[in-house]
Structure 1
Amino acid sequence: MKTLWMFPGQGSQRQGMLADVDPKLKKKVTELTGIELLDTDHGYLDSVQIQLSILILQMDQVIKLKQANWEPALVAGHSLGVFAAAYAAGVISTDEAIRIVALRANLMQNAYPNGYGMGVIVGLLRKEVTQIVTDNFDTNHPVYVSNQNSQLQVTVSGNIAGINHVLEKAKIQGAQKAKLLRVPVPSHSPLMKGVAKKLTEALKAVKLQQPNCIYLADYNGHATRDVEKVAYDLGNNLSYPVYWDVMMSIAKEYLIDSSVEFSPGHVMTSLLKAKIPEIKTITLGDMSLEDAEFLLNKWLK
């Protein structure tokens, strides 16, 4: 069985999602960063709380699946999810992942404390969205085309006022959906180059291991087992679009037959099913780990 493990980023966080996470993992976050995770709606207004909480939620699920002797053939992380993907592939340790994600979140939050974010447009091609962004670009309210989640799902990143203007233009042009995302920073755009540079410098001091499975990189969508390319993705994906659509096409070429989407949410599974309708899927945001293990064992027979 060839299973793809997928790790979403920010956007689907919710109060109480850490209820089943090992308390020792929560305590480790406080010991390493001085931050106490709140796991509340109010807490999830803060990017640092969001990123660290999603990270340890996914790492906890990775640990539990591996304790049950399950391993991925491929891993793919969307934005923040690259760190849990790298963790699942044996590239980065628990402590280092927590430290680097805390740094990442703080750098992002301090770079753009307010007035910036992301939006999503569904129903238009990337070239159509690019044309709207180009025609309406304003240096005082900059907006850039960012992630390619599917052929007809594209995100934009930048100034909120500028994004709202682009979203309205997209609706006029026929977009099925155009809305702001629950992401308080302009991720995956040139606006994040400064953050990416500092993060890359910090990663130079982290001992990373060769991945023990195939890693799909955000910044170009390609598959790799080269630790230097994984390190580049961890440090720099914030300043590049996430080419998720390309990543899923490459996963299909590897003849994957099943997938596990780690919490929170289930958007990645929906995108994958659209590309590979026959694939067997598990979404840990919608079922218990016990149910997931039952299905994996059933599929293995």
Structure 2
Amino acid sequence: MTRAFVFPGQGAQTIGMGKELADSYPAAKAVFEAVDEALGESLSSLIWDGDIAELTLTENAQPALMATSIAAMEALKAEGVGINKASFVAGHSLGEYSALCAAGSLSLADTARLLRIRGKAMQEAVPVGIGAMAALLGLDFATAQAVADEAAQGEVCQAANDNDPTQVVVSGHKAAVERACEIAKQKGAKRAMLLPVSAPFHCALMQPAADRMAEALSEVTISDPAVPVVANVLAASNDDGSAIADLLVQQVTGSVRWRESVGYMAAQGVTEIYEIGAGKALSGMIRRIEREIACTAVNNADNVAAVAADLA
């Protein structure tokens, strides 16, 4: 069996995520403590006992989701399941940072600080109300891209997330995204709806955030990953640490090529994927992309024990 570990992106956050892991595994608790120290605040208190609206703020959600994923990874390690059990790692948007941390390319403290910077920079790149994102359901990627191109009309409108064969997210100026919803319906989309997001991620409007991340990434040490990382912008694996910063900068304005990334892993012989961290959203996407891949969510102590019994 060839396995991959994948890490979720924004939207998977819930109050209480990771608490059971922290209570069950000292190594998982240590992850949250290290992230709190790196950020100079008790993010763990917000994650476990805070307000969901505050946790959902991009600058909080990004490091919080990463911390939860790495805590789950540390719990697995405590049971004898290390990163070497995977042939590939990958993550959806911010999840790529979790994947890189799990693979040893980035330290936990640096990853937390980078995601705090990334969250703030992405939020501040576009004034509230200027941008939007919308999910187009029932159109393939080529059609969704054509819809975005037609809707742009001199503004920004891009296919931002190629999630699975039935869902593409477009991003850009609000009026252009609204036009894309109407055009998509005319072209046969089952649904086209604006998403409750705070900024238009993964499009050209994020260039100020990309510039900020280039600066931040230049100040940290990035090592070769212990296992190849399937990069969002490549939809292919990379194991060269010197290329990682540029790939992460490109990711801010580029499309998240998740459908292609899963297809790439399947073509490399991956038959089992473990979703490490909050929620099960990626597992649902993966099943729609490659039905033959077995998906397992790892987000609580029972999951960890079950996976350890299979893999340790």
The answer to whether TM tops 0.5 is yes
**Structure 1 residue 135 corresponds to structure 2 residue 150:** yes
Cα offset for 1:173?
A: 2.6
Among 287, 294, 307, the alignment partner of 1:273 is 287
- For 1:295 and 1:36, how far apart are their aligned partners in 2? 30
Corresponding residue SS for 2:263: helix
Contact 1:54 1:264 in 2 (8 A): yes
> Does the alignment pair 1:297 with 2:309?
yes
CA distance in structure 2 between the aligned counterparts of 1:11 and 1:81, rounded to whole angstroms: 11
Letter in 1 for 2:267: E
Decide which moves more: 243-252 or 26-35. 26-35
Return the structure number with greater helix share.
2
User: For residue 2 of structure 1, what is the aligned residue in structure 2?
Assistant: 2
Aligned to 1:33: 39
**Equivalent residue for 1:78, pick from 92, 97, 107:** 92
Question: Counterparts of 1:58 and 1:260 in 2: how far apart (Å)?
Answer: 11
Counterpart check, 1:216 vs 2:230: yes
The normalised TM-score by structure 2 is 0.86
**What is the match of residue 118 of structure 1?**
133
Query: Do the aligned partners of 2:92 and 2:232 also contact (CA within 8 Å) in 1?
Result: yes
Which whole-Å deviations, capped at 9, do the CAs of 1:148-187 have from their partners, x for residues lacking one? 1223321111233432332233223321232233432221
Structure 1 residue matching 2:171: 3-state secondary structure: strand
Measured in 2, the distance between the counterparts of 1:294 and 1:121 equals: 36
Residue deviations 1:37-90 (CA, integer Å, cap 9, x gap): 323212134211111211111111111112222222210111000110001111
In 1: Cα distance, 2:204 partner to 2:109 partner:
29
Aligned counterpart for 2:121 among listed residues 86, 107, 110: 107
Distance in 2 separating the partners of 1:33 and 1:143: 34
Q: 1:259-284: per-residue Cα shift (whole Å, max 9, x none)?
A: 11123222221222233323322112
Of residues 177, 187, 192, the one that matches 2:201 is 187
Identify unmatched segments of 5+ residues in structure 1.
none
Using the TM superposition, give the Cα deviation of residue 193 of structure 1 relative to its aligned residue in structure 2, in angstroms: 2.0
Identical aligned residues as a percent: 26
Q: CA RMSD in A?
A: 2.2
Letter in 1 for 2:74: I
* TM-score (norm. length: structure 1): 0.89
* Contact 2:156–2:204 (8 Å) recurs in 1: no
2-side partners of 1:292 and 1:178: how far apart?
37
Matched to 2:302, the amino acid is: E
Moved more, 209-218 or 258-267: 258-267
Q: Can you give the 5+ residue segments of structure 2 that lack an aligned partner in the other structure?
A: 23-27
Correspondence for 1:56 among 67, 83, 87? 67
Query: Quick one: which amino acid aligns to residue 49 of structure 1?
Result: N
- Do structure 1's residue 250 and structure 2's residue 264 form an aligned pair? yes
Go from structure 1 to structure 2 and tell me whether the alpha carbon gap of 1:35 and 1:178 turns closer, same or farther (over 3 Å shift). farther
Contact 1:10 1:183 in 2 (8 A): no
* Contact 2:79–2:308 (Cα < 8 Å) also in 1: no
- For residues 202 and 247 of structure 1, the distance between their equivalents in structure 2, rounded to whole angstroms, comes to 26
Partner residue in 1 for 2:101:
87
